[in-house]
């Protein structure tokens, strides 16, 4: 199998980091194809802990090429901070081993503010976002008003693009009783970091064509899980991108015929973060035990995860939706101390078995 896509088959946090790191040792190129810095992987190599948010897992290994695809939304300051953090642990990061898609959408400060404003205003109807501006950035992308990495290369173009996006955001902010967001300081801040970001920028689709012609092994790495997919997940309690395996193609610019195998990472029990339905959730001592033994706290947010029994109904659905060829079962040892292990094989609604 030359090119493998790794996705989470539940609500994320299935332990993808460890599996992706193991697979990346055999891969030549590792591509992150969706999500933002709201999702994280924790890797432990030779006793050193690496917490990755935007950088693909392959960055910690020598002689690997790591790619951030066009399907990812990128907070440029968070990216530079993460690069500095990983460099402080003696990991080399340069324009030869890290490529950032020129078409990737940027997360800007007003996206984060909008995320916070809306979550606070929603009250009991809140989604439970990480408040990092991921959703608003994707909205601007779909609305064709986002700032992309390539826009940083021209002050004139950046100026026009900022006018367009802030016209939209300031109208909403005004309606919510919030002050308008000022453009000039943001433009200065972006132009200041532009050279540091642009040195990694390339047309990723073109590089992937090159790598395929060289018969390089490509590993596509997704964030979150299929049940958080904006189309196929537990809407509206989902993320703002498509987390299914087919997004590897659209989020990087390679054809779907580039994908040879889809691996679904599956946890031996179920967890989810934030709001939304959770049929097998355990709000008792067993749920607490799973959370403690499984260290169920977010890599990025440190938020405690909700825990419950394995839900076979949902996983059966995600395997079909995402075209998963095989699964890697994780955290089975967390269940070791339990006398009895349960799993969900069907639902019962109003006395009817579903």
Q: Is 41 a catalytic residue?
A: yes
For residue 236, give both structure tokens: 């509206």
Inter-residue contact 140 to 111 (CB < 8 Å):
yes
The phi and psi torsions of 199 (rounded to 5 degrees) equal -65, -20
CA–CA dist 81, 34 (Å, integer): 20
The neighbour count for residue 187, using CB atoms within 10 Å, is 16
Q: Which of 13, 75, 140, 229 is catalytic?
A: 13
Inter-residue contact 9 to 264 (CB < 8 Å):
yes
CA–CA dist 76, 151 (Å, integer): 13
Inter-residue contact 253 to 205 (CB < 8 Å):
yes
CA–CA dist 219, 4 (Å, integer): 5
CA–CA dist 155, 178 (Å, integer): 28
The neighbour count for residue 177, using CB atoms within 10 Å, is 7
Q: Which of 21, 37, 41, 115 is catalytic?
A: 41
For helices 183-198 and 76-87, the axis angle rounded to 10 degrees is 40
Catalytic residues: 13, 41
């Amino acid at each position: 199998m030359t090119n493998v896509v790794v996705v989470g088959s539940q609500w994320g946090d299935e332990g993808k980091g460890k599996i992706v790191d193991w697979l990346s040792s055999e891969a030549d190129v590792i591509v992150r194809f969706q999500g933002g810095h709201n999702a994280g992987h924790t890797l432990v190599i030779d006793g050193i802990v690496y917490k990755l948010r935007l950088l693909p897992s392959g960055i910690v290994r020598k002689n690997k090429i790591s790619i951030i695809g066009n399907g990812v939304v990128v907070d440029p300051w968070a990216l530079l901070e993460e690069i500095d953090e990983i460099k402080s642990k003696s990991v080399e990061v340069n324009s030869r081993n890290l490529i950032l898609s020129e078409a990737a959408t940027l997360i800007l400060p007003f996206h984060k503010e909008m995320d916070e404003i809306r979550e606070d205003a929603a009250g009991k109807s809140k989604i439970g976002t990480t408040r990092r501006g991921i959703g608003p950035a994707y909205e601007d992308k779909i609305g064709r008003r986002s700032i992309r990495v390539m826009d940083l290369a021209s002050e004139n173009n950046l100026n026009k693009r900022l006018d367009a996006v802030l016209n939209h955001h300031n109208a909403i902010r005004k309606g919510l009783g919030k002050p308008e967001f000022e453009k000039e300081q943001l433009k200065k801040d972006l132009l200041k970091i532009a050279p540091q970001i642009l040195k990694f920028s390339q047309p990723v689709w073109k590089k992937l064509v090159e790598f395929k012609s060289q018969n390089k092994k490509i590993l596509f790495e997704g964030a979150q899980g299929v049940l958080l997919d904006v189309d196929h997940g537990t809407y509206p309690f989902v993320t703002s991108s498509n987390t299914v395996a087919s997004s590897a193609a659209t989020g990087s610019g390679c054809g779907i015929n580039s994908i040879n195998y889809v691996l679904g990472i599956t946890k031996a029990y179920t967890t989810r973060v934030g709001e939304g339905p959770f049929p097998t959730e355990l709000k008792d001592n067993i749920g607490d035990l799973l959370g403690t033994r499984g260290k169920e706290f977010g890599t990025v947010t440190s938020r405690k995860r909700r825990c419950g029994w394995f839900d076979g109904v949902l996983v059966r659905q995600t395997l079909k939706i995402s075209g998963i060829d095989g699964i890697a079962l994780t955290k089975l040892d967390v269940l070791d101390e339990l006398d009895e292990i349960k799993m969900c094989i069907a639902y019962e609604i109003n006395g009817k078995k579903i």
